[in-house]
Amino acid sequence: MHAKMPGGLLAGFLLLLVPTQGFGLDLPRSGHPIFDRVVTLVADNFHDPSALDGFGAAVRQELDGGDPLNAKSTEPRVDAAIERILASLDASHTARFTQDSIAYYELADIFRYAIRHDMKRLFPPDGRASYAGVGMVTRMENGLPFVSDVYDGSPADKAGIRVGDEVLSVDGAPYREIESFRDRTGQKVEIRLRRIAGAQPFTASVAVERLRPLPTFEKAIENSVSVNESDGRRIGYLRLWTLSSPDGLDIAARELATGRLKDADGVVVDLRGRWGGGPPDAAELFVGDTPNFRLISRSGKDMLANVRWRRPVVAIIDEGSRSGLELFAYALKANGIPLVGTRTAGALLAGRAYLLPDDSILELAVSDAVIDDGVRLEGRGVEPDVTVPFALPYADGRDPQREAAMEEMRRILAKG
């Protein structure tokens, strides 16, 4: 039986949506509504008052420098200024997201309660966050976009797009996360890709769907489940893309208790996610010592009320393991469960979302996050027990971190 989760993990919640008390810092204003709103929100709500002097200096630099920001400044100038003043805070959960990025729609769904009064206006008619897409995310490497994530079961996954593919164009035009698929729901697009450096490009025909972020994550969690046989042992695999979706952990629990993973000898749980969130005791699924518990109705149908996985676990982490997923990783490591991959993001503060005048979203760290007696993961992260780097460009779908985690599980099972 695994040891208990450290008691301090029950304190705090990582997607904090409650108002905070302002600090009343008086800073100069530019006259530009978006920039000035960011300044006000940071001054009134940022969790660390000691960082506000440096923030104030960054604001004054934008107003007094060689190209002073003012009410008539161009959009690129304002965007760059906001990015610089937020960077001066040197904190996670602190950034601005615009409607040309997938992250905007995912955060709008995660923080839907915080911006609930604007959801129907932003996402008519039902107020549910959604975007037209194919279920892949890219990351810039050396100035080029490479596929960093393919959501399990998504159109991109079904079309054979792999992590590490370079994205060259969509229907002959430069790739844009949102614009490339806007107004194309129900149609197919031709995505031109390069899989190996210097090789001839190829084209994937991909269906565009209307994607709702949290249901998409839940579908990806469910579709990630697999079981492989090795030396007579059954090794399961599960990827937790986020802890923010309402049913994500329930899907994992059902698969472990009564689904495809119930007869596995061990499970590899992949914490290389997109967002954290979730309850601070989420790792209890693997490290809690309360008993499995079912409720059985008169008809004989039972309902899972408490699931605990008792067999071996290995977890995969990287810089995508952030916020609540880092807390998850910390709890696993504290209980002797091996972590494979690279250091987590070091992004463990409590964030809140604010809608800006142009409908962009400001995510702002409004509370510190402390584990047990003063342990902070912010800026530090969780180190793996087995370090395995991952080079994204032209990976051709190869996943050395997953392979190493499976090998670690085979080693544990072989030892009995």
Name residue 116's amino acid: R
Is 221 part of a structural domain of the chain?
yes
Q: Is the domain of 287 the same as that of 309?
A: yes
Overall size of the chain counted in residues = 416
Q: Which residue has the tokens 């489940």?
A: 225
Collapse the DSSP code of 380 into the 3-class scheme (helix H, G, I; strand E, B; otherwise coil) and give the result.
coil
Report the 3 state secondary structure along 183-230: CCCCCEEEEEEECCCCCCCEEEEEECEEECHHHHHHHHHHHHCEEEEE
Is 120 part of a structural domain of the chain?
no
Is 122 part of a structural domain of the chain?
no
Strand 131-133, strand 209-211: pairing: antiparallel
Q: Is the domain of 57 the same as that of 68?
A: yes
**Among 279, 274, 276, CA closest to 326:** 276
Euclidean distance between CA atoms 281 and 286, whole angstroms:
10
DSSP secondary structure code for residue 115 in this structure = T
Q: Is the domain of 342 the same as that of 378?
A: yes
Q: Is the domain of 344 the same as that of 222?
A: yes
Q: Which residue has the higher pLDDT, 11 or 359?
A: 359
This prediction has a pTM of 0.90
Structurally, the chain folds into a number of domains equal to 3
Is 16 part of a structural domain of the chain?
no
Which tokens is 395 given? 């990976």
Q: Which residue has the higher pLDDT, 258 or 181?
A: 181
Domain final position from 160, 185, 211: 211
Euclidean distance between CA atoms 341 and 321, whole angstroms:
10
pLDDT digits (tens, 9 = 90+) for 13-55: 444 444 444 445 678 999 999 999 999 999 999 999 999 999 9
Q: Is the pLDDT of residue 335 over 80?
A: yes
Domain final position from 211, 245, 263: 211
Domain final position from 211, 244, 272: 211
Q: Is the domain of 410 the same as that of 323?
A: yes
Is 8 part of a structural domain of the chain?
no
Q: Is the domain of 168 the same as that of 271?
A: no
Q: Is the domain of 189 the same as that of 218?
A: no
pLDDT digits (tens, 9 = 90+) for 14-25: 444 444 444 456
Q: Is the pLDDT of residue 201 over 80?
A: yes
> What residue numbers bound the domain in which 42 lies?
33-90
User: According to the model, what pLDDT value does residue 412 have?
Assistant: 96
Q: What percent of the chain has pLDDT over 90?
A: 82
Strand partners, 45: none
Q: Is the domain of 277 the same as that of 318?
A: yes
